[in-house]
Amino acid sequence: MRRLAGLLVAPLLLLSAVACGSEGKGSDSVSPAGGLPAITAGAAFGEKPTLAKGEGDPPEELKTEVISEGDGAEVKKGDQIEVNYLGQAWDSDEPFDNSFDRGEPFNLTVGAGQVIKGWDQGLEGQKVGSRVELAIPPELGYGEQGQGQIKPNATLVFVVDILKATTIPKVAEGTEVAQDNIDLPKVGTNTDGKAPSITVPDKDAPTELVSTYIIEGDGPEVKKSDTLAVAYKGVLWKGGKEFDSSYARGNEPVSFPLSQVIPGWQDGLEGKKVGSRVLLVIPPDQAYGDAEQQGIPAGSTLVFSVDILAAS
């Protein structure tokens, strides 16, 4: 969801089984065996860590050290995970970002391209309940362009607590709902994991938000406070051109807090059942209005097919 995350969510990193990490072991400080920066305070799982500045040249490849190993399941590609983290540059002793101060864990889908590559590669295979330290070279981070406080060609260091992991289905499963309104787009009902077709009629776009079932699941109703895992495809009403799709990036579900997306997604998905495929037709005033957004023309009505795969 890297493209749509940039449009809808825009966190810096864009970037169930539950287990506890080891407690009471070296909570003051710890020096990873592999030469990564030392945690000088708050070393225990769940505590906000303090990281020392890196010594010498940073590693040229991704380096992962398990600070404390949890007893949960191993994280798999496609899992929705919940983490706390702190990040800073190798040559700095000041963090550029952390979730501990916000008091709200970060959710992502592993391997979905939703975060920098070093996270996708470094967290896969780790156990739930673990604290992990990652050293991420520029090519797996923000590369030559940098990002905000992060300088170009920076090696990044993260301490990550893996709080939770949920294996989620690939597609919506439920009862097909008749699509008999000729004024609305038609969405494919395939459940083979491939992107559904979206056929936009040669008619004027609706001026109000449209949210309707294509496949109705039997899961709980989505709340605006939920974090969702979805598969989606988005096209422009005018011309039907695809502008974004999770299916085009490894076909892995993507995760985000519903409260952090455009109003048309919030209002259109709230109250819909998990397991469903939903058609959203979003007028400009509930999308991006008069502003052009990464190839989406100003004043565009947007059409989405959204499979709601999980909510937490």
pLDDT of amino acid 194: 94
Mean pLDDT of 77-95: 94
Residues 6+ apart with CB under 8 A from 117: 139, 140, 141
Q: Is the pLDDT of residue 250 over 90?
A: no
CA distances from 124 to 99, 132, 162, 207 (A): 20, 11, 11, 43
pLDDT of amino acid 15: 38
- pLDDT tens profile 31-42: 776 789 999 999
Residue predicted with more confidence, 256 or 238:
238
What are the DSSP calls for 224-254, one per residue? TT-EEEEEEEEEETTTT-EEEESTTTTT--E
Run of H or E residues at 66:
strand 63-68
pLDDT band at 113 (very low <50, low <70, confident <90, very high): confident
pLDDT of amino acid 27: 60
- pLDDT tens profile 192-225: 999 999 999 999 999 999 999 999 999 999 999 9
Q: With the C-alpha atoms ordered 245, 97, 157, 130, is the resulting torsion angle positive or negative?
A: negative
pLDDT of amino acid 30: 84
Q: Is the pLDDT of residue 9 over 50?
A: no
**60, two tokens:** 């040229």
CA distances from 114 to 10, 158, 254 (A): 10, 17, 7
Average model confidence (pLDDT) for the chain?
A: 89
**CA–centroid distance for 150 within its chain:** 20
pLDDT of amino acid 31: 79
CA distance 170 to 196: 13
Please indicate, yes or no, whether the overall pTM of this predicted structure exceeds 0.75. no
Mean pLDDT of 87-113: 92
Q: Is the pLDDT of residue 300 over 60?
A: yes
What are the DSSP calls for 246-279, one per residue? STTTTT--EEEEGGGS-HHHHHHHTTPBTT-EEE
Residue predicted with more confidence, 14 or 302:
302
Q: Is the pLDDT of residue 280 over 50?
A: yes
Query: Three-state DSSP class for 121?
Result: helix
Question: Cβ–Cβ contacts within 10 Å for residue 113, how many?
Answer: 19
CA distances from 298 to 203, 253, 279, 281, 287 (A): 19, 28, 22, 16, 10
Residue predicted with more confidence, 160 or 294:
160
Most confident of 8-22, 40-54, 100-114, 238-252: 40-54
Most confident of 22-26, 148-152, 176-180, 290-294: 176-180
pLDDT of amino acid 234: 97
Query: Three-state DSSP class for 196?
Result: coil
**312, two tokens:** 């937490």
Q: Is the pLDDT of residue 4 over 90?
A: no
